[in-house]
């Protein structure tokens, strides 16, 4: 079955917003991608799922590199601009600079990186996988910057801030759990 955009049940997912930066036939560009995930420790891999008609898609296919900047909780407007216009029509980086947002040049790849993000990683394309109506670009991290601000949360098509921390089981509960688990251990 299909899971179309806006399908009520898929709104239960909680994601982040990756601000994906690239360069190529469409020039320096930035887009928002909630489908941005860390998928391997060794080597460090990050996957981003991008619509085939996006300028970012064409850029990454050509240059085989991209920046992953995790959107901070105070960058909601930036996310809406990056996700609201196409890099084939608009120089979003120039527009964002005029609106006061700051960028810096990546060290190991030729893209712009977002200042004040929650996380900045430079990636070289590791694998390109065609899955359904999006392409999954898997990037190997070649440069990682120090931890930034708190990440924004994306849920039900809206932006949120991280809420209260929920505790892990206390020692007493852990002991009880262990007792029960021991009983059901497979021989």
Binding mask 140-179 for ligand FMN (x = CB under 6 A): --------------x-------------------------
Cα angle for residues 17, 130, 106 (degrees, 5° grid): 45
Q: Is 138 helix (H, G, I), strand (E, B) or coil?
A: strand
* Residue of 132, 144, 127 lying closest to 61 (CA atoms): 127
**Min separation Cβ 82 and ligand FMN, Å:** 6
- Residue with the shortest CB distance to ligand FMN: 83
- 122 touching ligand FMN, by CB under 6 A: no
**Min separation Cβ 154 and ligand FMN, Å:** 5
* Residue of 83, 75, 160 lying closest to 118 (CA atoms): 75
CB-based burial label for 138 (10 Å; 0-12, 13-18, 19+): middle
How many angstroms separate the CA atoms of 110 and 129, rounded?
Answer: 23
User: What residue has token string 């924004």?
Assistant: 152
Among 46, 47, 50, 114, binds ligand FMN (CB under 6 A): 50
Among 23, 24, 28, 33, binds ligand FMN (CB under 6 A): 33
How many angstroms separate the CA atoms of 44 and 164, rounded?
Answer: 29
**Min separation Cβ 62 and ligand FMN, Å:** 13
CB distance 26 to 122 below 8 Å: no
- 87 touching ligand FMN, by CB under 6 A: yes
**Min separation Cβ 93 and ligand FMN, Å:** 10
Applying CB under 6 A, which part among 2-10, 37-45, 79-87, 106-114 lies near ligand FMN? 79-87
Among 14, 51, 74, 161, binds ligand FMN (CB under 6 A): 51
- 29 touching ligand FMN, by CB under 6 A: yes
How many angstroms separate the CA atoms of 81 and 22, rounded?
Answer: 16
Tell me: cis bond preceding 43? Omega within 30 of 0 counts. yes
Binding residues vs ligand FMN (CB under 6 A): 17, 29, 31-35, 49-51, 54-56, 79-80, 83, 85-87, 134, 154
């Amino acid at each position: 079955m299909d899971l179309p955009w806006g399908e009520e049940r898929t709104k239960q997912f909680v994601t982040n917003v990756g601000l994906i930066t690239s360069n190529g036939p469409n020039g320096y560009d930035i887009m928002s991608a909630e489908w941005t995930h860390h998928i391997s420790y060794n080597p460090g891999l990050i996957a981003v799922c991008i619509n085939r008609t996006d300028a970012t898609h064409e850029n990454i296919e050509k240059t085989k590199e991209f920046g992953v900047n995790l959107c901070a909780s105070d960058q909601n407007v930036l996310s809406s601009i990056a996700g609201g216009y196409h890099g084939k029509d608009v120089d979003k980086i120039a527009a964002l600079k005029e609106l006061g947002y700051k960028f810096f040049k990546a060290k190991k790849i030729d893209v712009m990186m977002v200042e004040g993000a929650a996380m900045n990683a430079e990636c070289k394309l590791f694998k390109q996988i065609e899955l359904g109506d999006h392409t999954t670009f898997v990037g190997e991290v070649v440069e990682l910057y120090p931890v930034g601000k708190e990440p924004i949360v994306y849920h039900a098509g809206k932006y949120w801030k991280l809420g209260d921390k929920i505790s892990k089981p206390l020692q007493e509960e852990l002991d009880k759990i262990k007792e029960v688990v021991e009983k059901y251990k497979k021989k």
